[in-house]
Each structure stands twice: as structure tokens, then as C-alpha cells.
Structure 1
């Protein structure tokens, strides 16, 4: 019986914490418009479907963590140019993207944030981080597409209300 109680307390604590975060559980819909025409579409070292799945997952995660539960974000991605460029001198089993100052990540998209059927904010945005190699302030991660995900994280933080309930200082849209 005591073993059950020791399990119940952590679970109850976890559920209570989840309830506290529950106010932020916004949703998002991401559509990639003509991805075969994107700047990186013809790169052999770039698997478009995998890269777009990573970016989509990141945008969905940002919405879930940073938008109120009653808000819906719709994003139509018009172009993606990933950070770096393919280095072709690698072996046949392995391709590499080399990061240079002249190959920043960029994205062009339209977005609409709505609540209860009412549009709160919308626009068309062109993002580019020309200092991406010197400005790793968000994740500092070396995981897949980290520079590209940082680009979206920065835009999201600057465009939408922060989880602390404070509005951001400016919008880059």
C-alpha cells in the first residue's frame, strides 16, 4: 500500500504542473506551398520531406508551448532556404551542409493568428538571419536544422505573446 502512495504523489504533482501549463496549448496548421520550387529543392544533400517535417514539427511545438489554448495559427510556407550549402566532396553515403556567412537561413511565409473565428494578427513575412553564425542565443543546439529552427523561434517570440503573459516589444512581420 505504501508503494502505491509513493507513486500517486509524483503523478499528482505532475498532473498539477501540467494543469498550470495547460493555459498554453495553442494549435497550428502548417502548409507548404509548392515545396518543389523552394530554394533548396534541388539539393541532393537535402531531403526536402524530412527537413520540412522537422520545421513543421517545430512550428507546431512553438504554437503548443507559446499560444493560448483558444488561439489557432495558420502558416503557409512559400519558400525555405536552409542554412549552409551542400558540400559535394563527401562520400556517396554521406552529404554535408557547410555553414558560411554567405549562406544564411531564410523563410518566406504567410500567417494568420485567430481566436474564436476572429483574426487577431496576420501578414506575409520574409525571415533571414544574416548573422546566424554569430548569434546562437536560442537553442545553442547542434541538432537537425538548428539554425533554421532558431530563425522560426526568434520570429515567434518577437511576434506573439510570451508565456509570462507579457507582450513582445516588437514585431518583425
Structure 2
């Protein structure tokens, strides 16, 4: 019985050591192309959802590595427009209102930087093709765009390489 607890403790420590430390920072979010109106953020949870998705994707693709992501700009799919006469607002999707995200990143193994870069993602055909995120997900186009970028940027060989 005692050895079982020791084995569980060792496994827990090993999994904690293999878990990536992913930090996402939003740089001057008040100046982002979208998500705000004259009173500031309409829905601050949008940034939290983007952060959670980035963290989950980096942890999945680069286990055991430390990652720092600086999000420099966000422009969500569609445009917010007034709806009828009640003063309500609605996000309207058109082919010319594609989502985009600009970010820089740094991947580390200990003190060593193994990959870094800056990217500007835009999905001009965001309404076309299969999207694995359900239609009720308000960030389904942005998440698919992030997933595709990560698949291109972080090869399976890099993810499979042992983290120090």
C-alpha cells in the first residue's frame, strides 16, 4: 500500500514537470482593432477565452516547454453593427470581415530559447470549409485560425523532441 502512494507521488511530480508553463500577455489591449467600443470592452471574457485557447493549444503541442505569448492585436470575425431601431448591437459575418490576430512568441527549454517569432494570422476564407468548433462558439473562427497556424508553425518533430 505504501509503495502505491509513493508511485502515485512520483507520477504526479513527473507529470507536473512535463507540463508547459504558458504565459499569455495582451499588449495594449485597449488599442486592439476589435472587442471594444467607446466605453471599453463589450465582453472582457473574449480575451480570457482567447488566452485559454492559446494556453491549451501550446500545452498540447509543446508539452514540457515554457512559452511566452504577447498578443499585439485582435480583430474578430465579422463587424458589430446596430440591429433595427432598439439600439441593440449584433455581430454580422461577411466575407470581407475576416478574423486576424497578431502575436509574438518565445518557446524555451530551461534557459535556452528553442523557437521564437512574430506572426500575423488572417483567415480570408473563414466562412468556407469544415469547422470542428460548434456553431454556438462565438470564437469558432478565431480558434480554427489559431489551430491551423499552430499546426503549421510547430511541427510534430519539435513537439516530439524531449524537453529538458
Q: State the 1:158 CA deviation.
A: 1.2
Residue 28 of structure 1 aligns to a residue whose secondary structure is strand
Where in structure 1 are there 5+ consecutive unaligned residues?
1-14, 168-173
Alignment of 1:3-14 (within 5 A): none
TM-score, length of structure 1 as denominator length: 0.72
User: Cα 1:153–1:24, aligned 2, differ >3 Å: closer, same or farther?
Assistant: farther
Residues 1-173 of structure 1 aligned to structure 2 (within 5 Å): 25-43=19-37, 47-69=42-64, 71-89=65-83, 95-137=89-131, 139-142=132-135, 143-162=137-156
**Residue 95 of structure 1 aligns to a residue in which SS?**
strand
Counterpart-to-counterpart distance in 2, 1:136 and 1:90: 31
Once the two structures are TM-superposed, the CA of residue 117 in structure 1 deviates from its matched residue by: 1.2
Work out whether residues 71 and 103 of structure 2, in 8 Å CA contact, stay in contact via their aligned partners in 1: yes
Matched length: 146
* Residues 120-173 of structure 1: per-residue CA shift (max 9 Å, x gap): 111111110001100334x2422121101111111111111339x679xxxxxx
Change (3 A) 1:144 1:24: farther
Under a length normalisation based on structure 2, what TM-score does the superposition of the two structures give? Answer: 0.76
Deviation at 1:75, TM superposition (A): 0.5
Unaligned runs of 5+ in 2: 1-7
